[in-house]
Every structure is written in structure tokens, then in C-alpha cells.
Structure 1
Amino acid sequence: MSWPPFDNLCLTPPPEAAAPLGPCLHCQVRHLSVCAVLSHEEINALDTAASLQVLAPGAVLARQGEQRRHVFTVTRGALRLVRLSADGRRQVAGFALPGDFVGLSGAAAHQNDIEALGETELCRFGLDAMQRLGEQFPHLRGKLLERACDELDSAHERMMSLARMNPTERMADFLLTLAARQARAGMPGPSLVLPMPRADIADHLGLTVETVSRCLTALRTRGLIALPGTYRVDILDRRGLETLKAA
């Protein structure tokens, strides 16, 4: 199997108003992550606690049920979050793209398997170090809590929305959501990178692989998208997709 061009998920940050101080200020996704709202003093403190971790394609970062010891920011590549039900069924809970914070939870153990889609680079922080930084910088702790609440609200809203959609509408919504995330990351399109195979999309949307393929074909037939490659989708009619999703 050939993998998509994950290097395209390596982003360019906006210019800094002040002179860079440490490696964190060179981070390509700082403008997307919680670090964007931190002071130089807070960034320098994060610098001392951060370490780089690179995952090979398919590598496992954590297993469901393992004790949480670190939190991570994705700086390049992508992760999938997979949960296995009691009867062994696989559900892709979500995907982490550059700028996403992974592992922030009130639970002592990981709630999902976390796996790399292609080569993926992470900025890693130990939980103990993050707790000390939170005590030292209440602003940082508040922003982390705010981000966790935002992600919880977003996940709940998407769950309610997907329950009302048919398969083609789910696919339209998925493509628009991914396009919006990549646009915020400095990749406005119209070419959309899919850092995951069709099987992952199916397990995320509660569909079969065959249904995912049929939905993509249906959207292409309507002239809403083009499919130039296995891991690329060109959005030709964004308004048409939005109208379909809202139907």
C-alpha cells in the first residue's frame, strides 16, 4: 500500500511579531495549538518540558487502557484514535492533525488506541511536567481546560449531526470538516489531502468501505468533487456540498 503525501501536512506558521526565543517559537503549528495564546515566558517554560517524538507509519503511540504518562501536540503527519467495543468492533473515534492536542483527559488511562497515519512528528510533554507548569502558569492551565471543553462540545455536536444524516450527507460533512481544518492550517484547497484510508473513514462514519466508495462516486457524479487520487479529493462545488449536508 502506498501512503499519501503526509509531508503536505507540514505547515508554515505566520510571522512572529517578536524575535524568536526558543525552539517552541519555531514550531510550524504554534499558531494552531494552545501555545498560540501563551506569553514568551510560558513558551520558554514549555520548551524545557518538551521533547520530540517521531512515529513510523502504522506505529502505535498508546493502547486503550494504558496509563497516561504524556500529552502530545501533532506537528506533522496525522494520528487516528481507535476504540474497540466490548464485542471487538472497531470504531475510529477521530483523527488528530497538525496543531491538535492529544492525550488531554481526566481519565487515568487512554480511552483509545492512538496510531500513526504515515510518518508523524509529535511534541511530547510529561503529565507531571504539565501539572507543574499549570501550577506555575494558571493561564496555561485555563487554556488547556478551555480547549478540552471545546473539543468535548464539538464531538457531541458532531455525534448528534451524524445521527440525522444519510451516508452521502455524512460523507459531504466529513469532507467539509476536513477541508475547514486544513484551511485553518494554511492549506485552503481546493485539493484536499486525505491522510487516512477508506476503511478508516468508514469506521469513523459508521459505514462500510463499499458505502464510502459509493458516496464518493455519487458526489463526483453530481460534479461536487473530483477524485484525482486515492488520498486526494478536489472540492469543485463547496456550496453544493454544504447544501447537501444541510438537507
Structure 2
Amino acid sequence: MDTLQRNVHNSEIPVVCRACEARHGGLCGVLVPEQLAELNRHSARKKIDQGTELLGQGEQVPYYANILRGVVKLSKMMSDGRQQIVGLQFAPDFLGRPFIAESSMSAEAATDLEICSFPRRVIDRMVSSVPGMERKLHSQSLKELDEARDWMLTLGRKSAQEKVASFLYLIATHIDPEKTDKSCFDLPLSRADIADFLGLTIETVSRQMTKLRKDNIIQIENNRHITVPDMAALNFAAGND
């Protein structure tokens, strides 16, 4: 594509979409300018405070969303009130399941969040008419399935230190996809939530974080800011090849 063609192509894309990373890496990446313009007419960019519930388990789903910045915590609650964190979502993940009117889990902003939301009816209609969108959602579902299987291995077979190191490596490599340097990040979860996510006690999480710090695998500031001097060393501590 020459310069003139690129300029004409870009001029057809809604201004708000041109600099959006989710357009390239997320669901919108499969849409042509006309489809982006149609979706943009119904979209709304929102900033959401940490701790805000986006969807409640068992509630009707009014909208879907692209995650533009921040981390979403997915949880499931049992009938007796016990709750388990079952997943995390990062930019540019798609929040929601097309054609499913009721949410099977709750979604909460684990950090301050920015999303681009769309009415459910609009996405359901577009998925039916845009094959690339259906393939993209299918691809994300398979990716999440693979990640869930990897996490089952982490929870079922890894030691406490490997679990904590695996969590830190996950956050380092996913929390900010636009950032080239993955070695510095803030933890998106409290120690209690990390313990819940890993199936450990808060005390065990704290001990393992301290051990990783003493082994010079991580550095900790203000209890939440993590620096990883050597990502390969963290990956090795996580029990990965």
C-alpha cells in the first residue's frame, strides 16, 4: 500500500480509533474502516475506578467491552457465599461472551481501568455478519482455554514459590502490552487476592515474596511496586523451561 492509499485508508477510520492499541491487537483489528465507523457510533470510552464491579454473576449482560488499560478480576461465587478469583484480563482482551445474555461470573476493576464499551445487541449482530470478528473471538476463547490449562498446572503441581513467581511473571508480561520494558510494574491485586488466586494463605504469599526478594529475583517498594532485574531468573523460579 503506497502513501496515498494509506492516508486515504486512515482518513476513513474514526479519529478515536486511530491511536487505539485495542484496534490492532483486539477485536476491532479485524474490522474494515466502514465497520469501525459503524461500531464507533455505538461505542463509549469509560474510565472506571479500582474496585468497581463491571458485571455481577447471574446478571443480564448489557454491554461488551475492549479493555484499553488496566486489569479486570474475574470471580465466581458458590451458593454458600465462598468466592474464588478464576481469572484476570488485560488490555486488549475482550470482556464478555457474545450470545450469552447472563454473566456466569463477576467482573471487577482490579486497578483503575479504561474500557471501550458496546451494546450487546450491536456486537451480537456484527459477529453474525463479520466472519473475521467471529474468528477473532474464537481465537481469544482458545487462548483463554490454553491459559486456563496452564494455570491448572500451576495450581495443581507447582510449589508455593513457583506459584508466586508464576503470578509475578504473568503480571510482568501482561499488565501493559504497550510497554517494552516489562521489568517494573505495580501489583494489581492485594496480598489477600493473590493468595485467593493461587490457593495459598496470605502468610505463605508474603513469605515467598520475601524469599524471592532475598534471592535477588525481585525488588519490592511500597509493598506493591515490583522490579525484576532478570526476567529469565523469574521465569526459572516459576518452574518454566
TM range (shorter): 0.7 to 0.9
Match in the other structure for 1:9 = none
Aligned pair partner of 2:155 in 162, 178, 182: 162
- C-alpha RMSD of matched pairs (Å): 2.2
Match in the other structure for 1:27 = 20
- Per the normalisation by structure 1, the TM-score is 0.84
Match in the other structure for 1:113 = 106
Match in the other structure for 1:137 = 130
Could you tell me whether the CA contact under 8 Å between 1:78 and 1:96 is conserved in 2? yes
Match in the other structure for 1:236 = 229
Q: How far did residue 94 of structure 1 move?
A: 1.8
Provide the C-alpha distance between the structure 1 equivalents of 2:130 and 2:98, rounded to a whole number of angstroms: 19
Provide the C-alpha distance between the structure 2 equivalents of 1:137 and 1:128, rounded to a whole number of angstroms: 14
Measured against aligned partners, the alpha-carbon deviations of 1:188-233 in whole angstroms (never above 9, x if no partner) come to: 2321221221111111111111111111001001111100222211
| 1:92-103 correspondence runs (5 A) | 92-103=85-96
Q: How far did residue 92 of structure 1 move?
A: 1.1
Provide the C-alpha distance between the structure 1 equivalents of 2:99 and 2:35, rounded to a whole number of angstroms: 23
Q: How far did residue 107 of structure 1 move?
A: 4.2
Match in the other structure for 2:207 = 214
Measured against aligned partners, the alpha-carbon deviations of 1:16-61 in whole angstroms (never above 9, x if no partner) come to: 9853521222324333322234322332232123122332232211
Corresponding residue SS for 1:196: coil
Could you tell me whether the CA contact under 8 Å between 2:74 and 2:88 is conserved in 1? yes
Residues 175-184 or 63-72, more deviating: 175-184
Could you tell me whether the CA contact under 8 Å between 1:223 and 1:237 is conserved in 2? no
2:83 aligned with 1:104: no
Could you tell me whether the CA contact under 8 Å between 1:32 and 1:185 is conserved in 2? no
Match in the other structure for 1:205 = 198
Could you tell me whether the CA contact under 8 Å between 1:81 and 1:93 is conserved in 2? yes
Aligned pair in 2 of structure 1 residues 107, 136: CA closer, same or farther (>3 Å)?
closer
Identity fraction in percent: 31
Aligned pair in 2 of structure 1 residues 63, 148: CA closer, same or farther (>3 Å)?
same
Q: How far did residue 103 of structure 1 move?
A: 1.3
Provide the C-alpha distance between the structure 2 equivalents of 1:230 and 1:110, rounded to a whole number of angstroms: 33
